Structure 1
Amino acid sequence: MSRKDGVLALLVVVVWGLNFVVIKVGLHNMPPLMLAGLRFMLVAFPAIFFVARPKVPLNLLLGYGLTISFAQFAFLFCAINFGMPAGLASLVLQAQAFFTIVLGAFTFGERLHGKQLAGIALAIFGVLVLIEDSLNGQHVAMLGFMLTLAAAFSWACGNIFNKKIMSHSTRPAVMSLVIWSALIPIIPFFVASLILDGSASMIHSLVTIDMTTILSLMYLAFVATIVGYGIWGTLLGRYETWRVAPLSLLVPVVGLASAALL
């Protein structure tokens, strides 16, 4: 990986590391699924009127949007809402790196050698140690843990769709992929919120929305999604999945530090 791409990867690490605290703050005054729906609505509008639609098969676009956008954040936001600590969520979510490597090996035939396998094993051990240390005797509901793990698997599936899209003959601009795929989860998020939270709760959260929630939404939409996933998608298009996915293992360092300080 070039030095420039390495710097971009570190930028994503910082952006996504802060993401968990921002989600926690945003959930103080808004139901999780509605917060997610508004996030992607801000990503899509009004940008889709100025960015051309990516010329890729619809099934790939739908697969990307439903996994990396809808499923990942539906599971993650609900997990945090059910009491999953933000710092611990940032750790567990990084299981996506291992899921991505396994899926990449099966899907693209990517081979791992001894050094890569040793590095992955060491990374897994490190993450497990951090998870145990972050618990520090506190009880975490199994539901929140499993939801976060489901979010990690959804993210990994999205990475595979991303790689397939960027390997397609049309090779669309990453920004157009991020923006147009954001259309896909909006209605599912709002419908799910309506069913689970009720219209009264949704209306109340909009009427009483404060600047903290607005700033949280802006960060989640413009920084974490457009900037973060724009860079991430570009890197996945340039390199093998096993080179890119493990970089996210640095995210918990920022996530735990920000959760402790903010």
Structure 2
Amino acid sequence: MQRKDLLLGLLFTVLYASGAIVMKIGLQSAPPLTLATIRFLIAGALLILYLYVIKRGKYPLPNKREFIILFWLGLLNTTLFLGLGLIALQTVSSGIFNLFIPVNAFLYALLALVFIGQSITQKEWGGMIVSFIGLFVVTYPTLAESKSSIVGIILLICAVISMAVGSLIYKRVNLQLSTLVVNTWQVVFGGLILIIPALLLESGESITFDINFFGYLFWSVFVLSIFNINLWFYLLKKDAIKANNWLVLNPVAGFILAAPILGEPITMYTIVGTLVVLFGLYLSGNINIKSSESKNIKACSK
């Protein structure tokens, strides 16, 4: 691997892992659904401006069928995944949030088995079992010590399931659209859908316009939703499997960042559980050291 690609891969991993951390910071100033709504509406508006004004004529508008599909992808991958994820982060650490993300591959495999008959190998089954044991090792102590809540873990599980369903739909429909167009409209529809629950559930809650609020908006919109997504596309184009490996390393970076920034402790349970999860992913083939330029992996829009 060239030094440039190594540095860019490390940068992507660190920025991707910072998503849960900056969301925890933003929650100090505003309720979760309000935060998510503002973020996605701003990011969506900027992305539409880029696609259809700055790059006018290069990206055609989706047709009616594609808009319907993009609506559902926005609901699943943006509204539910990040909306439920933000609510879960009120009672779950950012480290645990980041640890759940790579396990999406297993949930996707199970859904593909049930709905499209895609087979699961013995190695994949073994990897699933090992990784879920690792998740239990990390989460159980935090539940026992009341550092996380059962409701928060359940919401986090629902968020990851939502992302897996969105991935399954994305694969089934085979949209003939640029990945940038898909992610733009996911963000737009996700933000628009979130307006309703945000108004119904959080209209009476206060927003503090301080450094935490504006820092969250700047980082989540410009650094994560725009810069890091484009960096992800670059890594995918260079080598899809290596790009996926950087995504899998997200929990490690997440725990390392959360310790100094949020004061979240790195315990022996954290270390052992994370290593077990990563070993399960490696065992199942989700961590692959071989290079491939043809495998298409969908980016998640965190």
Q: Which has the larger radius of gyration?
A: 2
Candidates 182, 189, 214, aligned match of 1:184: 189
Q: Which residue of 2 aligns with 1:261?
A: 260
Select the structure with the greater relative contact order (CA < 8 A; seq sep ≥ 6).
1
Q: How does 1:131-142 map to 2 (within 5 A)?
A: 131-132=139-140, 137-142=145-150
Q: Which residue of 1 aligns with 2:96?
A: 88
TM-score by length of structure 1 reads 0.78
Q: Is the 8 A contact 2:75 2:193 kept in 1?
A: no
Q: CA offsets, 1:199-244, max 9 Å, x none? A: x53xx52xx41233212122222333334555379859x979xx98
Q: Secondary structure at the match of 2:249?
A: helix
Q: Which residue of 2 aligns with 1:251?
A: 250
Displacement, 1:93?
A: 4.4
Candidates 73, 76, 88, aligned match of 1:79: 88
Q: CA offsets, 1:101-121, max 9 Å, x none? A: 222344554434343443343
CA distance in structure 1 between the aligned counterparts of 2:172 and 2:202, rounded to whole angstroms? 36
Q: How does 1:1-262 map to 2 (within 5 A)?
A: 11-51=11-51, 52=59, 53-54=61-62, 57-81=66-90, 83-107=91-115, 109-132=117-140, 137-164=145-172, 167-168=174-175, 170=176, 172-198=177-203, 200-201=204-205, 204-205=206-207, 208-229=208-229, 231=232, 235=236, 248-262=247-261
Q: Is the 8 A contact 1:54 1:173 kept in 2?
A: no
Q: Secondary structure at the match of 1:46?
A: helix
Mark the CA change 1:255 to 1:13 in structure 2 (over 3 Å): closer, same or farther: same
Q: How many residues align?
A: 249
Q: Determine what percentage of the aligned residue pairs are the same residue.
A: 23
CA distance in structure 2 between the aligned counterparts of 1:7 and 1:116, rounded to whole angstroms? 30
**Aligned AA for 2:197?**
A
Q: CA offsets, 1:49-78, max 9 Å, x none? A: 331334562232111100000011111111
Mark the CA change 1:41 to 1:222 in structure 2 (over 3 Å): closer, same or farther: same
Q: Secondary structure at the match of 1:30?
A: coil
CA distance in structure 2 between the aligned counterparts of 1:110 and 1:5, rounded to whole angstroms? 33
Mean Cα deviation higher: 59-68 or 252-261: 252-261
Q: CA offsets, 1:156-209, max 9 Å, x none? A: 1122233345x33x2x111111112211122322221221112x53xx52xx41
CA distance in structure 2 between the aligned counterparts of 1:17 and 1:211, rounded to whole angstroms? 20
Mark the CA change 1:247 to 1:115 in structure 2 (over 3 Å): closer, same or farther: farther
Mean Cα deviation higher: 143-152 or 111-120: 111-120
Mark the CA change 1:141 to 1:224 in structure 2 (over 3 Å): closer, same or farther: same
Mark the CA change 1:46 to 1:137 in structure 2 (over 3 Å): closer, same or farther: closer
Mean Cα deviation higher: 68-77 or 40-49: 40-49
- Gap regions ≥5 residues in structure 1: none
Mark the CA change 1:94 to 1:61 in structure 2 (over 3 Å): closer, same or farther: same
Displacement, 1:247?
A: 6.4
TM-score by length of structure 2 reads 0.69
Q: Secondary structure at the match of 1:50?
A: helix
**Aligned AA for 2:199?**
L
- Gap regions ≥5 residues in structure 2: 52-58, 262-302
